[in-house]
């Protein structure tokens, strides 16, 4: 198949629409179920590149949860703690495969943003991973293959209309890529820049120590940023992104947005949130919404009379600002990547509030010394990569 006609483009009024390979080759994909649309394929191809690179860089199975051409989460297949399994709603599924752990992490980092995601997996989708996906609200998946039972499970989603794409993992795109804007064609070389541990060798702070696990987290953050709409910043910990700030016009807003998501990830693990008793018939999306309100500034809304009874068996105690701050102060050893240099030390100050200790950014700002000085104030280790990772 050399081209695939789509229902429409980004919006229903944008017709005709299709995908094809410019050099006339066969498309490297096979649609096994459903009818993916324009945005589905945009998410699928960006997500596939991300997980393919993560797998190559770390040697671990990788997964990402994409929404509107930016990742909501990305992770590698490290085992889940009991707490993470509980906050990701997979504690009832028994032992999970490494790939299933990767997707549980990618989906669970920011469950609000992952609602209705497009999934990319680095490896053949197995049954444990399919069982997680089966019960989540998702638009589709791309992977290099599917176990027969996993394909059967996924094909039953959405009344048999769930989008399932198989991609040829050996497909190599041409070195030049093109994009049309306002009838004008842009051409550029593909971003084939390799991200690995060697990129972290230029540590410019007084603290020069970046442990092995922190290096993996920094690599995850940088590869994630390579496929995130810029400006972008990514917090990572324990083998996964925990907060992604995408598409902001200022660097500090990226850092604040990603930091607030990282904080929410941490607050979900607090005893107060883990102790919430939901009514039996409330679904995962509604639980996620209730938790988001409970740990946010509008927590009084969910505790109002006539509201909490619809969600909780027992009225939750107020989660005070002081209690939340005390819990967040226990977060440590977080890694932070930025797709371009930090222009001011205020980004480092904000990062510190979310437990950041390790940083990777290109460097090159006229205020690099101020940024380094701020990192030194908190004993952080910061590497200058020398490479910008803008993505548009």
Choosing from 40, 46, 163, 231, which is the catalytic residue? 231
Q: Does 68 qualify as catalytic in the annotation?
A: yes
* HEC string for the chain: CCEEEECCCCCCCCCCEEEECCCCCCCCEEEEECCCCHHHHHHHHHHHHHHHHHHHHHCCCEEEEEECCEEEEEEECCCCCHHHHHHCCCCCCCCCCHHHHHHHHHHHCCHHHHCCEEEEECCCECHHHHHHHHCCCEEEEEECCECHHHHHHHHCHHHHCCEEEEECCCCCCCCEEEEEECCEEEEEECCCCCCCHHHHCCECCCCCCCCHHHHHHHHHHHHHHHCCCCCEEEEECCCEEEEEEECCCCHHHHHHHHHHHHHHHHHCCCHHHHCCCECCCCCHHHHHHHHHHHCCCCHHHHHCCCCHHHCECCCCCCCCHHHHHHHHCCCCCEEEEECCCCCCCHHHHHHHCCCEEEEEECCCCCCHHHHHHHHHHCCCEEEECCCCCCCC
Choosing from 52, 56, 68, 353, which is the catalytic residue? 68
Q: Does 231 qualify as catalytic in the annotation?
A: yes
Choosing from 40, 55, 67, 237, which is the catalytic residue? 67
Q: Does 86 qualify as catalytic in the annotation?
A: no
Residues with a known catalytic role = 67-68, 231, 392
């Amino acid at each position: 198949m050399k081209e695939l006609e789509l229902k429409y483009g980004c919006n229903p009024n944008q017709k005709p629409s299709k995908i094809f390979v410019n050099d006339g080759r066969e498309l490297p994909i096979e649609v096994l179920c459903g009818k993916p649309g324009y945005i589905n394929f945009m998410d699928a191809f960006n997500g596939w590149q991300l997980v393919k690179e993560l797998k190559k860089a770390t040697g671990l199975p990788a997964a990402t949860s994409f929404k509107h051409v930016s990742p909501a989460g990305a992770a590698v297949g490290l085992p889940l703690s009991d707490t993470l399994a509980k906050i990701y709603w997979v504690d009832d599924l028994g032992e999970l495969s490494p790939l299933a752990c990767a997707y549980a992490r990618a989906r669970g980092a920011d469950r609000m943003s992952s609602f209705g995601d497009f999934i990319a997996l680095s490896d053949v989708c197995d049954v444990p991973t399919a069982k997680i996906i089966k019960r989540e609200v998702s638009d589709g998946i791309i992977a290099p293959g599917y176990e027969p039972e996993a394909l059967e499970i996924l094909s039953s989603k959405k009344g048999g209309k769930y989008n399932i794409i198989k991609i040829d993992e050996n497909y190599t795109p041409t070195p030049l890529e093109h994009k049309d804007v306002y009838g004008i064609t842009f051409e550029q070389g593909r971003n084939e820049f390799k991200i690995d541990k060697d990129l972290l060798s230029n540590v410019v702070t007084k603290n020069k120590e970046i442990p092995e696990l922190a290096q993996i987290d920094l690599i995850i953050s940088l590869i994630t940023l390579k496929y995130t709409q810029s400006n972008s910043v990514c917090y990572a910990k324990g083998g996964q992104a925990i907060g992604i700030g995408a598409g902001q016009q200022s660097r500090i807003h990226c850092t604040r947005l990603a930091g607030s998501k990282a904080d929410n990830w941490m607050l979900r693990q607090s005893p107060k949130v883990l102790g919430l008793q939901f009514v039996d018939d409330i679904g995962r999306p509604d639980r996620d919404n209730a938790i988001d309100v409970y740990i946010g500034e509008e927590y009084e809304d969910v505790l109002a009379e006539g509201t909490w009874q619809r969600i909780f068996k027992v009225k939750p105690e107020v989660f005070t600002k002081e209690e939340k701050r005390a819990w967040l102060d226990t977060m440590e050893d977080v890694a932070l990547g930025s797709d371009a240099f930090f222009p001011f030390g205020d980004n480092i100050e904000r990062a510190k509030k979310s437990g950041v200790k390790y940083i990777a950014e290109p460097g090159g700002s006229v205020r690099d010394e101020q940024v380094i000085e701020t990192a030194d104030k908190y004993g952080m280790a910061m590497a200058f990569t020398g490479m910008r990772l803008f993505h548009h």
